[in-house]
Amino acid sequence: MTGAEIGIAALFALGGLRSLWRWTRRRFEGTDVVDHLLYALFVTGRVGLWFAFAGLFVIYAATSLDGRPTSELDRFRWYLIVPIALAAVQFAAGYFLGNRSPGDEA
């Protein structure tokens, strides 16, 4: 473990906490439940990305690369899906929330 990876992970985690604090303080005046659900998905994707990147640096700091062709990082290859999925959720929720009109209520 090196201090650089832990320091960068801590900065990303602090960024996630700041983002969580900022987005939960923002007032959202949706007209129906779907608006609130889309907004919650948007905030989850946005805040979750910060914590996902912090997790990437923690994983990198916790694994050792001893010059072996297959390293310990291969076990965590699946984790790359987490930031991609969170970014997709944030993008889709923002897109659908932005394209809803007041007449969309069922």
In whole angstroms, give the CA distance from residue 105 to residue 87.
27
Is the pTM of the predicted complex or chain greater than 0.85?
no
User: pLDDT tens-digit profile of 30-73?
Assistant: 778 898 999 999 999 999 999 999 999 988 888 766 656 556 66
Q: Which residues in 58-67 are b (16+ Cβ under 10 Å) and which e? A: bbbbeeeeee
CB-side exposure of 4: number of CA atoms within 13 Å? 1
What is the torsional sign of CA 80, 83, 89, 91? negative
Q: Show the tokens assigned to 18.
A: 């700041």
